[in-house]
Each structure stands twice: as structure tokens, then as C-alpha cells.
Structure 1
Amino acid sequence: MTTTVSTPTRRYDLDWIRVSAFFLLILYHVGMFYVPWEWHVKSPHPVETLELAMFVTNPWRLTLLFLVSGAATRFMADKTTVGKLTGARMARLLPPLLFAMFVIVPPQSYYQVVEYAAAHSAGPGSAFSYGDFWIKYVTGSGHWCSADGCLTTPTWNHMWFVAYLLFYTLVLAGLLLIWRRLGEHLQAAAERVLNGPGLILWPIVFLGLVRAWLYPRYGETHALVGDHYVHAVSFSAFLLGFGLAKSEVLRERLIAARWLALGLAVAAYAGWATYAWVYRAGTPIPPEGLRWAMRFVYTTDTWCAIAAILGFGAKYLNRGGPILRYLTVGVFPFYLVHQTLIVVMAHHLAKLGLPQPFEALILIVFTFAGCFATYEIVRRIPGVRLLFGLRGDQSPAEAKSPPAFA
């Protein structure tokens, strides 16, 4: 007697995780306005202790997104040809990427230049309008430079994730042309390696070695070319997601390990956040041995948080519904506009002198409201829909279509 293991046709848990991760990303980018870290615009009253909250999602949020994007791509790839998969991804990702670079992103760079000029009481950005800026932006002739370097335009800013996702999908399509059963073989390999203690141990070791070897040499640039550390982590996560998407074996293992993974993630966060806080100013310089140890603590946080999220998601987020269908489609337009909304509103809110908690609440509420309003508007305009990663026609089937972030 043989036992047949059913293969899922959709993972609602991964859809919920994707939506939740992008909502967290919106909150993270609001936080970037307030923490002392470098960003496009900055609050005149930075909140240093907010860094501790930012460290909660910093190690894993984007790696998780690449993983669930790889998983969603698996479901698409198994239902169509490589050519159709490539064409669909190009049609859903490339127009929004280009549209964002030339329409949505420029205000971010504009206010970045304006704030730099204001902080230095002179310089470019104070003598021309947004229209004048945009011409220089698209022609790459602005020459906006500071002691830290020059602003290269056109740029994709937060849209780097979409550019990388498109690139990874094209690489995957090339691999599928050579190895059509790649997903099945990746699944078998993942089930073999991520077994017992290896479910937790081996991803930590891999990510730790990558961080120890590549991060000190290349850092994170989001420039696509030469961004070796980010590619090593993100493309690996994308392929892992492609492999584990349909694995009931790994799904059950992650459910079983969810509490252990959560405990390790919390402990690793405590260690990493303490280290980053103590040495946040760059002085004193941490011992080299401590640096090495903390790279593995960081990746313990990365993988264990992801494993816990996948485990709890698989256990409790296994139902769809109208809210999920709405958000799964809407999250791409949300992502396109959210950072520009934050930058523009934060720049102007800072001038009002409001109590900072009230200012932050306004910024969060209005950013989410702007995201929902944008989606509700663009989904009703056929020609514009394509520029926001939506299908060309609005139909009842839209909510069941693959997400743009697949």
C-alpha cells in the first residue's frame, strides 16, 4: 500500500507572512526618519534608543521577503513554461521599477538634497524648483555631492528589492531552462540537509560564514553590481524558498521547531542589540574575536527569527479569505509609494514643531492611508494599473492572481 502526500497549490501562510513583512517594512522606514542612522531625510530630534526597536527586524526582514518570494515563484514555475514565467515577471516588475525610478522615487532625492543644503546653509537644492531638480535627476547632471560622496541619479532607492527580485527571477529562469526539475531537486536537498539539529544549525553556519567573509569586504550597496554579500544572502534565500515551498516535510519540521527557534531568536537579538548598542559610536573598537562571534550571533537571529515566523505561520495562518486576497494584490502598490510618502510627509511635519510621539503617529497613519488610497485609485485605471504591478484588467480573478512580489 502506498501513501500519497498531497502537494499544496497555495500557501496562505506565506501570503500572510509576505503582507505582514511589508507592513513591518513601512514601520521600519518610518523609524529610519527618527533614528540617528543615515537616511534621505532626518528628524531634527533623533531618538537614539529607537535603534533597539529597529534591531528587532533588521537582521531578517528582507531575507524573509526574498525567501517567500522564491516560494511564490515555485508555484508559478510549476504551472507554466519558463518563457511564460519570464514574460510574466518582466511585465509585472519592470514597468513599475522604471516608473518608480523616474516618477515615484525622485521626490525622495529632492528632499534629501534640500535638507543637505539647508543643513549646510548653501549648496545645490536651494536655488531651483522641483521641476529643475527633476531634469537634472533624470539626466544625471545634478552633481549633488557631500563629504560622504555624490548622489547618483536616476536611482532606485527602496526599489532595489524589486530590481534584485527581477534579476533573481531571470537567473532562475536560465537555470530552469537547463534543469527543469530544479525545484524538486532543491526540495529534496533541503529536506535532506535541514533535518534534526541541521534545521537550525546549517543555515546559521552558512549565513555566518557569508557574513564573516563577504560583509567586511563589500558591505551592502544595493547597487546590483558588486553587491556580493547581499546577493549571497538574498539569492540563497530566494532559492531556499523555491525549494521549500511545496515541502510538507519541512513545513512540519518548522512547526515542530517554532518555539525553539523563537527562543534562540530572542536570545540572539538580546546579544546582538547589546553589542550594537555598546559599540554604536565606533568607540571603543570591539576586539576582533568579539566581531567574529557577533557575526554568528547576528545570523542566529536572522535564521531563527525566519524559522520561527515560518513555523508559527504554518501552524496558525493557513486560511485565506477576502482580506488576504485584497492585501496580497495591494501590497505591491503599497511598497511602491510608501517610502516617498514617508519622506515627503516627514520633511514637512518636522517643520510644525509637533510633540514627537504625535508627529510619529500622524506619519504612520497617513502613510498607511496614502498606501490604501493609492491602491484604490490606481486599481481602477487600466493604463496605470500596469505601472503599479497590477494586471491590465480589473476582474474578479485579480485577487486570485499571483502576487507581483512572487
Structure 2
Amino acid sequence: MSDIAPVPPGRRYDLDWIRVGAFLLLIFYHVGMFYVPWDWHVKSGYELPWLEPVMQLTSPWRLTLLFLVSGCATRFLADSFAARGKGAGALAGSRLLRLLPALLFAMFVIVPPQSYYEVFEHLRGLGVAEPGSHPGLSDFWLRYATASGGWCGPDGCLITPTWNHLWFVAYLLVYSLLLALLLAVPGVQRTLQAGADRVFRGWGLFVWPLLWLFAIRLFLAPAFEITHALVDDWYNHALSFAAFLFGFLVARSEPARRAFMAARWPALVLALISWATWAGYAWSFRADDAVPPEALRLAMRLVYAADQWAFIVAILGFGARWLNRGGPVLRYLTIGVFPFYIVHQTVIVVVGHHLADLGLPLFAEATLLIAATFAGCFLAYELARRTGWLGLLLGVRPARRPPPAALVAASQEG
């Protein structure tokens, strides 16, 4: 018999808050991408190298954490179907309905402006005076949708249609369907859960995932660069699918929740040390021609993995300890962060491109960009809430309407 006690039925508000926080962090991260020296779709006239260590505070773990809490959410969803006598097919159908329309709509409507302004700024960088009138941008959407743009440069070609930041949604959909296939096999969930109950208890909850991250960082990361292209992204799959499955298996474990709380302070200390070490290393070798010694490179792969897991453990531990209350704000944002995620990067790219042309002071430009991004996110969410089933195009299912009072009364009389 398993010694892992189930979490009592009810909402895990801590996981909801963490999911909301992780999505909101992405908004600020992508605003930061407008300013750091790293390549991105569009860039500000202000380049802020000092922002790089700040960005690296969340860069190693933010999406891994999102896959983990998505796995937790999938567990609660699967259990709700099981309680109604439904199986893996219902789970797969639910994930398809929620994720696939939003992904397709985003690829052909939300994402194309990102590609347009990326090409626009590339042409302007080549000295084209009026990029909007250039033949390379004529019939843009048709060329985008039919993969016939021919937008190539020294670093390669822009392949369209693309999902850009929506790669997370594509991967989450695939992982959910793979999980549904696993759950359809009799006894598989029980076997996986029993194994997880033995391994992920006490400090094993901290140590074993950390060793996994060490291993894939050492052996897979050098061979498989992260591409977000699904078919050749093996290091990313080993990282993200493992996090998703881990979340599914520990979501209902009360001892796991307590273990996260017990480890939160040591994990936070390790996380901050690892971040400072990794950020210092990245800063020291940030130049294109700077080549670190191989031994140092290997050591930093381990530091990076420690950074990933220590921050995640600390966040889950402090969340379990302090974020255990719901409320109207959480109810609103729990649904809202998905449309926020879908539209935020396009808003940043479009607004950022036009703000950069105005030559505003840095503080004014950044403030307007952040304000416009959140305004666009809230506007998209409010539209999705009010358009019934069309809201699925932004990841929002129509709210269930309570039955009319007359019907309730009649059913009670009957």
C-alpha cells in the first residue's frame, strides 16, 4: 500500500496562484527581450546589457514550472472525469477542445504580426527606406500562410506559419494526448503512481528530479539544441514532458506538499547561489568570441540544473505555505492568464515597434509598453468571455449557465 496520502478534495489555490504568477512573469520577460542585447523579433533603440542577469533570474525555470503546474491541473481534470465515470478519451477531448482551436487561431491570426514586424525591421536594418512598400512584404499574410515568403538572411530563413511563443501550447497539447494514451492502458496510472510514491518522498522529492536535470543537461543539452520545433527538440522534451508528468503524479500527494514546504528555505538559498553563479558565468563570457574552458562549461551545466530545480522547489514550498486562499481575483486570473499568454507577445512586438520610432525617453517607453501590453491582454480576455464558444479561439470556454429557477423548482417538486 502506498504511504503517500492524497491531498483532500478541493482546490489547490497555491498551484493556481503559482500558475498565474508564472504566466505573468512571461509578460515581463518578453518585455525585457525588447531591451536586452539578445536577438528577438523587434528591438528598442535602447540596449540594456545590465538587464541580462535580471532576465536570467527566471530564464532557466519559468517554463519548466509552467509544465509542472500544467501537469498538476491535468491530474485534477483527469480525476474529475474519472469521478463521473469518464476515462482517458474524455481527457483527450477536453484538451483538444481547449488547446487546438486557440493554437490554430493564434498561428494564423495572432502570430503573423510578429513575423511581419520581424521582416520589417530586418529590411530596415538592410537600409531599405520604406520597408512597408518592399516586395518582400507584399501579400504578407498569404505568403505567411502558404510558407512562400522567402524571408531569408545570413542566419537562415523565417519559416511560416509558425507558433512562436505558442510552442508551449503545442507541446502541452501533445503531452496531454500522450498522457491520455498512457492512462487508457489498464493499470498504467496505478503503476506510475506507485513508483512515484516510492521515489518522490522526503528528500527524494528534491534529490531525484535534480539528478534527472543534471543528467539531461550533461548528456542531452549538448547534442540537442532547444528548437521549439517539436520534432527534433529532444532535450526540451526530456525536460518539459518530465516536468509535466511529475506534476501529474505528485499533484494529489499531501506528503509531497509537505516536503516542498520543508525544503523551501534550503532550496531558496541554493537557488540564489546557483543564479548568481550562472549569471556571473554568462556575463563573463557574453561576448561572441568568448570561449569558456570545457571543464567550466560542464560545471556550469550542473549549476544551471541546480538553479532550475531549486527555484521550482522554493516556489512550490513557499506557495504551499502561504498561497492557500482563493478569492475573486484568483478566479478571474486563473482563466484569464491563458488568453493573456496567447496575445501578450504580439502586443509587445507591435506596440514596441511603434514606440521605438517615437524616440521617447527609456522610462516613458518601457512604462507605455508594459501598460499597453496589459491593456491588450485584459481586452482580449474580456472579449473572449463575452463571445460564447468563439472564446475558445483565445482559450476561454463559455461559462456554464445555472438552470432557470423554474426548472430547479420543478425538479425539486418532482
Q: TM-score range by the shorter chain?
A: over 0.9
Q: Equivalent of 1:321, from 313, 319, 327?
A: 327
Residues 1:226 and 2:232 are matched in the alignment: yes
User: Using the alignment, how far apart are the partners of 2:170 and 2:133 within structure 1?
Assistant: 31
Match of 1:401 in 2: none
The one-letter amino acid paired with 1:98 is: L
User: Using the alignment, how far apart are the partners of 1:229 and 1:249 within structure 2?
Assistant: 30
C-alpha spacing 1:130/1:333, structure 2 compared with 1 (3 Å):
farther
Deviation, structure 1 residue 390: 1.4
Match of 1:200 in 2: 206
TM-score normalised according to structure 1 size = 0.93
Deviation, structure 1 residue 180: 4.9
Match of 1:359 in 2: 365
Residues 1:166 and 2:173 are matched in the alignment: yes
Kept in 1: contact 2:338–2:395 (CA 8 A):
yes
C-alpha spacing 1:67/1:34, structure 2 compared with 1 (3 Å):
same
Gaps of 5+ in 2: 82-86, 404-414
User: Using the alignment, how far apart are the partners of 2:7 and 2:163 within structure 1?
Assistant: 41
User: Using the alignment, how far apart are the partners of 1:56 and 1:374 within structure 2?
Assistant: 29
The one-letter amino acid paired with 2:170 is: A
Match of 2:266 in 1: 260
User: Using the alignment, how far apart are the partners of 2:363 and 2:205 within structure 1?
Assistant: 41
Deviation, structure 1 residue 52: 0.7
User: Using the alignment, how far apart are the partners of 2:75 and 2:254 within structure 1?
Assistant: 14
TM-score normalised according to structure 2 size = 0.91
User: Using the alignment, how far apart are the partners of 1:124 and 1:118 within structure 2?
Assistant: 6
Deviation, structure 1 residue 378: 2.1
Match of 1:137 in 2: 144
Kept in 2: contact 1:113–1:125 (CA 8 A):
no
User: Using the alignment, how far apart are the partners of 1:52 and 1:6 within structure 2?
Assistant: 37
Deviation per CA, 1:101-151: give whole Å up to 9, x if none: 000000000000000000011498641597711111001110000100000
Kept in 1: contact 2:7–2:253 (CA 8 A):
no
C-alpha spacing 1:57/1:395, structure 2 compared with 1 (3 Å):
farther
Residues 1:146 and 2:153 are matched in the alignment: yes
Residues 1:57 and 2:58 are matched in the alignment: yes
Kept in 1: contact 2:61–2:309 (CA 8 A):
yes
User: Using the alignment, how far apart are the partners of 1:6 and 1:332 within structure 2?
Assistant: 26
Written as runs of structure 1 = structure 2, the 5 A alignment for 1:313-392 is 313-392=319-398
Identity %: 60
Deviation, structure 1 residue 393: 4.7
User: Using the alignment, how far apart are the partners of 2:108 and 2:126 within structure 1?
Assistant: 27
User: Using the alignment, how far apart are the partners of 2:313 and 2:270 within structure 1?
Assistant: 10
The one-letter amino acid paired with 1:325 is: R
Deviation, structure 1 residue 6: 5.3
The one-letter amino acid paired with 1:240 is: F
C-alpha spacing 1:6/1:101, structure 2 compared with 1 (3 Å):
closer
Aligned residue pair count: 395
Match of 1:402 in 2: none
Kept in 1: contact 2:71–2:245 (CA 8 A):
yes
The one-letter amino acid paired with 2:165 is: H
Kept in 2: contact 1:40–1:109 (CA 8 A):
yes
Root-mean-square deviation over aligned CA pairs: 2.1
Kept in 2: contact 1:118–1:126 (CA 8 A):
no
Q: Equivalent of 1:88, from 73, 87, 94?
A: 94
Kept in 2: contact 1:110–1:125 (CA 8 A):
no
Match of 1:29 in 2: 30
Match of 1:111 in 2: 117
The one-letter amino acid paired with 1:328 is: T
User: Using the alignment, how far apart are the partners of 1:73 and 1:140 within structure 2?
Assistant: 34
The one-letter amino acid paired with 1:20 is: G
The one-letter amino acid paired with 1:139 is: T
Gaps of 5+ in 1: 398-406
User: Using the alignment, how far apart are the partners of 2:79 and 2:61 within structure 1?
Assistant: 27
